[in-house]
Amino acid sequence: MIRCIAIDDEPLALKQIASYIKKTPFLELVGRYESALQALEVLENTTIDLMFVDINMPDLSGMDFVKTLKNPPMIVFVTAYSEFALEGFKVNAIDYLLKPIGYRDFLKSANKARNCFETHLPQLANQVEEKEYLFVKSGYKVVRISLDEIIYIEGMREYVRIHLINGMPIISLISLRILEGQLPSNKFMRVHRSFIVSLKKIKTVDRSRIVFENSTRIPVSEQYKEMFQKYIALHSWG
């Protein structure tokens, strides 16, 4: 699945893009925002693969916003003015969509993004999915942590606290977003702005809280609820 966000200051246009993302089987809507500034937090704290962003927005245009990002995801610009298309490609946009947007044109752009995404997927899989452990710096030491030992990871601004089956939690100076990108997505999932959980360690799900064997409870926030529910549904029996 390609994880997406949509940014547009026009509520109807934003609703339409969001509905198109939900309609497309290989896309997953992580969030939708009416300004670029609203989207900053999710870009800083979770992995986003593709961003549909309107060029003409007040305060901070979509074009200027993309230029501020150090490691932007794939970009599809949305605009009512075709003259912005050339400028969009100068910042390596995958495509641009001209309003009003029909689903057929949207799907063409989405397929371009998928082709780009799948080109890099085998390399990413070799680097991420086969990992059995991580090396993290804790104090003056570098500690090797087995992925099977991790119960959940708690974000604390610039630091993370890695909670293990055995032993005291390990604290490391690294952002939760960066650590999320290093963990295999088939074993770990971001369920809250402050928490990543080991999917194998989940004992029960009580409403919107994950419960582990040690009775620790982790909340699932609205931002990540849909993705988590899809995972539960996929692995449910009966």
Q: What is the pLDDT of residues 23-55, one digit of tens each?
A: 998 999 999 999 988 888 888 778 899 999 998
Provide the strand spans (E) within 9-58.
27-33, 50-54
Q: Which pLDDT tens digit goes with each residue over 139-160?
A: 888 899 999 999 999 998 789 9
CATH architecture of 133-234: Beta Barrel (2.40)
* Residue 87: pLDDT over 80: no
| pLDDT classification of 127: cutoffs 50, 70, 90 | very low
| pLDDT classification of 91: cutoffs 50, 70, 90 | low
To the nearest whole number, what is the mean pLDDT of the chain?
Answer: 85
Residue 228 · residue 189 · CB < 8 Å = yes
- What element of type H or E holds 134? strand 133-138
Cα–Cα distance between 122 and 127 in angstroms, integer? 9
Residue ranges, comma separated, of all CATH 2.40.50.1020 domains in the chain are 133-234
Buried b / exposed e along 126-136 (16+ C-beta atoms within 10 A): eeeeeeeebeb
User: Range with the lowest mean pLDDT among 29-38, 90-99, 219-228?
Assistant: 90-99
Give alpha helix (H) positions in the chain.
11-23, 36-45, 62-68, 85-90, 103-128, 176-182, 222-234
User: Residue 218 is encoded by which pair of tokens?
Assistant: 């982790």
User: Range with the lowest mean pLDDT among 29-38, 186-195, 223-232?
Assistant: 223-232
Q: Evaluate whether the domain defined by 2-128 bears CATH number 3.40.50.2300.
A: yes
Percent share of the chain, pLDDT over 70: 89
Cα–Cα distance between 106 and 146 in angstroms, integer? 42
pTM of the model: 0.54
Residue ranges, comma separated, of all CATH 3.40.50.2300 domains in the chain are 2-128
How much is the average pLDDT of 124-135?
A: 62
